[in-house]
Structure 1
Amino acid sequence: MQFYKKIPGYKKLNITVENFILTKCNEYNISKTEMRILLNWSNIVGKDIAQISRPEKLSFLQNSNSGTLHLIVNHGGNAIHIQYAIPIIIEKISVYLGFKAVFNIKIKQKI
């Protein structure tokens, strides 16, 4: 059995890149919640849903912490699959972020 020493000062690259992007969100008027969903989409919803869809944007209502997530789906048949999975997707996003950031999902089909 071999043990590896953790070298102080080294961090995982994906965490470093994500932190850098999140600090730049304010400059480009993008919410950090939206960026976290975009960056971690496959981790949030799983491989099956991530292969057939991708988030486009998260639009918030005025004076609200939750909004509508706009998804792009690659085929009409997959749009039906996503339509049935909307409550599950919303729940997975809420669990990942720690609060209910999405209350509705709109689906756009790209051919």
Structure 2
Amino acid sequence: MTRAPGPSAPPKLTRRMRGFEAASGLVADRIRSAGEKRGFAVTRLLTQWEAIVGRDLAAMTRPVKIGYGREGLGATLTLLVAAAHAPEVQMQLPRLREKVNACYGYAAISRISLTQTAPAGFAEGRAEFLAAPPAPKPLDPVVQARASAVAEGAKDEGLRAALETLAQNFLARAKT
């Protein structure tokens, strides 16, 4: 008589860290696998696009995919560009390639190809090109003076500027 196999053991649960976990740690594997499907071995290129290429170029472009040729001599980065901005981006391609390769740490990208699209983008609106952020409103001189007085005691310039900005934001909101 053969014996029927018993119930399988429950899957072993991995113990989570105690306390709070960074949200990036919870989704890092999913982001990496989604990025690798499009050729992005370094997800920083996707998540920090604005910091890598600058605010002006990031407002006009979106990285879509990285394709590797058969020769293996560098990859091709495909960017979405609103059609009106394509000539401007085309002129900046050498500088853009240098910035992207600096992100990788070596000459990973040998060619950048532009795909022109409507300002709303394609892929169900996921590649929308946003307008420039609104210019900051001028502050009331009374609020500026009070914020300067609050931050006056700080000796470090960076800390003083941060405290002054915080006080300005707080006082401007309290006033409205």
Scaled by the length of structure 1, the TM-score of the pair is 0.71
Question: Larger relative CO (CA 8 A, sep 6+): 1 or 2?
Answer: 1
The verdict on how the C-alpha distance between 1:101 and 1:74 changes in structure 2, with shifts beyond 3 A counting, is: same
1:40 is the counterpart of 2:60: no
CA shift for structure 1 position 17: 5.9
Deviation at 1:33, TM superposition (A): 2.5
Q: Which amino acid aligns with 2:108?
A: A
Measured at CA, do residues 10 and 53 of structure 1 come closer, stay the same or move farther in structure 2, by a change above 3 Å? same
Secondary structure in structure 2 of the residue aligned to 1:81: helix
Kindly tell me: are residues 12 and 46 of structure 1, through their superposed partners in 2, closer, same or farther at Cα, counting changes over 3 Å? farther
SS in structure 1 of the partner of residue 41 of structure 2:
helix
Once the two structures are TM-superposed, the CA of residue 10 in structure 1 deviates from its matched residue by: 6.0
**Structure 2: gaps spanning 5 or more residues:** 1-18, 119-176
Task: Kindly state the Cα deviation for residue 105 of structure 1 after the two structures are TM-superposed.
Answer: 0.9
RMSD: 2.7
Deviation at 1:65, TM superposition (A): 5.8
CA shift for structure 1 position 108: 1.2
Please say if 1:96 is aligned against 2:103. Answer: yes
Structure whose CA Rg is larger:
2
Aligned to 1:81: 88
SS in 1 for 2:94: helix
Which digits, 9 at most, give the CA deviation of each residue in 1:6-55, with x for residues without a partner?
xxx767545x3674322x359x6444436432222112101110001101
- Residue in 2 that maps onto 1:54: 62
Residues 32 and 108 from structure 1, CA distance in 2 versus in 1: closer, same or farther, beyond 3 angstroms? closer
- Identity value in percent: 26
- Give, in whole Å, the separation in 1 of the partners of 2:114 and 2:52: 17
* Segment of structure 1 superposing worse, 29-38 or 43-52: 29-38
Q: Specify which of 76, 81, 103 is matched with residue 68 of structure 1.
A: 76
The verdict on how the C-alpha distance between 1:25 and 1:48 changes in structure 2, with shifts beyond 3 A counting, is: same
Q: Distance in 2 between matches of 1:17 and 1:44?
A: 24
Residue type of the partner of 1:70?
T
Q: Distance in 2 between matches of 1:74 and 1:17?
A: 33
- The structure that is strand-richer by fraction is 1
